[in-house]
Structures are given as C-alpha cells and as structure tokens.
Structure 1
C-alpha cells in the first residue's frame, strides 16, 4: 500500500515537472503569435485563433511523445495509471490556454 502511494507521488511530481516545462517551452514558441491587447477596435480573432490552435497541436504532440516514451519505460504494473495522467494533462491544457492569453 505504501509503495503504491509513493509511486503515485513520484508520478505526480514528474507530471507536474512535465507540465511546467511544456508550458514554458510552448509559451516561448508561440510568443510571437497573436495580439496582446484583445480589446482594440481593429482586432480580429484570427491571430489569436492561430496561436491557440498552434498551442493545442504542439501540446498534444508533446503529450503523445511523452506517452509513447513512458509506456515503453514503465513496468507493466504501472501502465494502468498512464491514461489517467493523459486525461489530467488534457484537462490541464485548458487551464494553460487561459494562462497563455
């Protein structure tokens, strides 16, 4: 029981490190896109839409690469936890989208 709890804590730690690194990396990559002031008269949604879609696609690519790498490295007894982390990452992506704008 204690081993399972410590495994979950390790998983949470690595998940949070992954999320922070990917967020700052993608924020840097899409920093030139979009408009900072979204409430100006001549603003259109297109630049910010391109920034959002680029962020989503790159984020999903990072998650897929991480899933492939992790699923090959972890023992089979821990592979059941992998999809719960993926679902949590997709939910976290929505929070990151709000934070990036």
Structure 2
C-alpha cells in the first residue's frame, strides 16, 4: 500500500474491479440455478433459496481467499486498513444478491 495522499483511489479501483469480476463470474456460474420469473403461480422459493445460499458461500470463499492473499502481501502496519474493505465488501454482497435476482 502506498502511503500517498490519493492511494485510496487506487485501492478503490482494485475493490471495484474485484466486486465486478466476482459478481459477473458468480452470476455466470449460477445462471442455471433458480427461476428467472419470480411471479409464477407454481413458483417455489427453494430453487432461488439454493441460488442465494450458493452465491453467499462462494462469495465469502472468494473474499476469504483475496483477504488472505492481500494480507500476506502488504506490510503489517497496513493490515488494519484491510478490514474496512472487507466490511464494505460484505455490504456490497447484500446489494449484489438483490441484483442477482
């Protein structure tokens, strides 16, 4: 991590790229699960529930992998800043769940 005045913009760019890549990848991976039309008479919540839980688990797995990778790469004095991005990413996961359906 750079200690420059605008280094957070670079990390914001990396964060947005990570979120977009993970969302598009998981959307493509989970495209066959669930029902696209939510408002059918015989619709059941089970296929969409499975899709949501699978998305959450795979997203958390990707997040955990990236956090472990980055925490090993940055100096120890900058590791405390990493948790801000993790919390922001968890909030973004809730938004992505709504966009997934």
Would the TM-score normalized by the shorter structure come out above 0.5?
yes
Residue deviations 1:63-87 (CA, integer Å, cap 9, x gap): 0000000000012222111001000
C-alpha RMSD of matched pairs (Å): 0.9
Mapped pair 1:14 → 2:8: no
Structure with bigger helix share is 1
TM-score normalised by L of structure 2: 0.94
In the TM superposition, structure 1's runs of 4+ consecutive aligned residues that sit over 3 Å from their partners are none
Q: What's 1:59 paired with?
A: 59
Gaps of 5+ in 2: none
Q: 1: CA distance between counterparts of 2:80 and 2:88? A: 14
Q: CA deviation at 1:5?
A: 3.0
How far does residue 46 in structure 1 lie from its aligned partner after superposition?
A: 0.1
Structure 1: give runs of 5+ residues left out of the alignment: none
Provide TM-score, normalisation by structure 1: 0.94
| C-alpha deviation, 1:8, in angstroms | 1.1
| Count of residue pairs the alignment pairs up | 99
Q: CA deviation at 1:7?
A: 2.0
Q: Which has the higher contact order (CA 8 A, sep 6+)?
A: 2
Report SS of the residue matched to 2:37: coil
